[in-house]
Amino acid sequence: MQSLERFIERTQACESEQDLFREFDDFMRAFGLSHSAYFIMSKQLRAIAPETGIVRQNFPKKFAQEYISKNFAKFDPIIARSRKESRPFHWGDVPKTQSLNAQQQQVFDAHKRADFLDGIAVPVFGPMGTMALFSLASQGAKLDLSPVQEIEIQFACLQTHNRYFDLAQINDEAPEKPLSPRETEALTLVAAGLANNAIAERLGVTENTVDTMLRRVFAKLGVNNRISAVLKGIGCGLLLP
């Protein structure tokens, strides 16, 4: 098994987000954790809607599509509990310690259909007043992690979160190609936590237009996701923190 120290060394040497998450996936597989999702839950100590704050995930396509299409993130009890915790906890701990309503039970029913017998949620805290959640699991396997292993996983998640911010190029350099007023307005609405459909309604355009607009924003800022775009926008003065 790759040591935590070696993992930190390798992630510090990463030059791209893709390299970082490749190292992260390799490290987690050694613990039997083959699937993960990484959410930014808050920035500047302000909450971000989970469906807006997702940075990356590699869950099976069918499961991910159901999770997104049914807006599970809005009422997922695992996400809700992560906001109150500072240590890793197992998905299965949640229904043991609280009563689930019908909506919340849908999340665990989806886990069963996808053959996720257990998972572990890891809240972490990092730069710029951020809180993040790593949700990790494997299909068809019960987790058998020692307390020491859970701490190793927690520190690996923290290192990944911090290194992600390093690689997001948070600085005060303006983009080579300035954003148009309309693009800046769209990015401001992303920062406010609005999804594409809400942005489209606010701007009086179609969702396809918003998608195209945000792709141009990402290209100009040199990023590949919403969170990085918002952070870069703050760093170069396009957005107020």
pLDDT (mean) for 208-237:
83
pLDDT (mean) for 168-173:
56
pLDDT > 50? residue 42 = yes
* pLDDT tens for each residue of 45-88: 777 777 667 888 999 999 998 998 888 988 999 999 999 999 99
pLDDT band at 172 (very low <50, low <70, confident <90, very high): very low
Higher-pLDDT residue of 219 and 149 is 149
pLDDT score recorded for residue 100 = 95
pLDDT band at 175 (very low <50, low <70, confident <90, very high): low
pLDDT > 90? residue 118 = yes
Q: How far apart are CA 209 and CA 205, in angstroms?
A: 6
Domains of the chain and CATH, by start: 4-167 (3.30.450.80), 181-235 (1.10.10.10)
Lowest mean pLDDT among 23-37, 106-120, 141-155, 179-193: 179-193
Q: What is the mean pLDDT of the chain?
A: 88
pLDDT score recorded for residue 167 = 84
pLDDT score recorded for residue 234 = 72
pLDDT (mean) for 190-196:
85
Query: Could you give the C-alpha distances from 79 to 75, 119, 123, 207, 209, in angstroms and in order?
Result: 8, 13, 9, 27, 31
pLDDT (mean) for 86-91:
95
pLDDT band at 220 (very low <50, low <70, confident <90, very high): confident
pLDDT > 70? residue 137 = yes
* Long-range contacts of 30-34, Cβ-Cβ distance < 8 Å, separation of 24 or more: 30/1, 30/2, 31/1, 31/145, 31/149, 31/152, 31/153, 32/138, 32/141, 32/143, 32/144, 33/120, 33/136, 33/137, 33/138, 33/143, 33/153, 34/137, 34/138, 34/139
